[in-house]
Amino acid sequence: MLVSATEMLNKAKAGHYAVGQFNINNLEWTKAILQTAQELNSPVILGVSEGAGKYMTGYKTVVGMVNGMLEELNITVPVALHLDHGSYDGCYKCLEAGFSSIMFDGSHYPIDENVEKTTELVKAAHEKGVSIEAEVGAIGGEEDGVIGMGECADPNECKRIADLGVDFLAAGIGNIHGKYPANWKGLSFETLDAIQQLTGELPLVLHGGTGIPADMIKKAISLGVAKINVNTECQLAFAAATRKYIEEGKDEQGKGYDPRKLLAPGFEAIKATVKEKMELFGSVDKA
């Protein structure tokens, strides 16, 4: 059964570890992440971007697939199904479809409009027992066509959004979606510290978890980050394993072209990546 992300993240913040949000793109992705979470006895958040939701034909399909897997795979660890970087309309669609958590990304609106829309969505989500994440300050890089340079959020604006009753907050601290460029300046721990001092117990979220060095991840967790989003790293691992299989000509041996065989190395690569991240984030055995 899907759960909201509130309890798992409050526990993570209090226990100084982080829960991974791993974005899903299809059945292989979802199954790999759920099985790894179960094997490691870790809570997990399945992230769905609006683009991935559309690719999987719609939010109802995603909810049906995830709920079916929880039952068929006997998943007993806490699992939240979360809309990633949701638009105002997207949030309402996911509430209707049966998601257990949503993110409203109002970071591109003027702060007053972000506050107004977030206030409304907090009420709508909480009426359904769904957790809600908000965002202040743009996360850099490109995600679904949105390109940002990784600006740092204003801690006072973070406080304004935190006070609206959101369950966790994504604040830009120089992090970027996708691969990090060679000239990346690193995370701004000063900003993170200032945000945590103003937002107190509220779990903070680190987007763009791919490519951030392990020591920075650990420092971010020590400063209140309780949710870390990973997407690109799983995609790169899946692509590399699939390429290797085909380059070695395995798809031409026997029934190597069968998608169950063709996609198996990529599936295992996702599992290995998720395991590595859960160990780094400290969520193993925290279910």
DSSP assigned state of 183: T
Q: Which tokens sit at 96?
A: 């209707």
DSSP assigned state of 154: P
Distance, in Å, from the CA atom of 275 to the CA atom of 42, rounded to the nearest integer, reads 10
Active site residue: 84, 105, 163, 167, which one? 84
Q: DSSP E strands: which ranges in 58-123?
A: 79-86, 101-104
Q: Do the beta carbons of residue 268 and residue 39 sit within 8 Å?
A: no
- Is 84 considered catalytic here? yes
Q: Do the beta carbons of residue 48 and residue 23 sit within 8 Å?
A: yes
Q: Which residues are catalytic?
A: 84
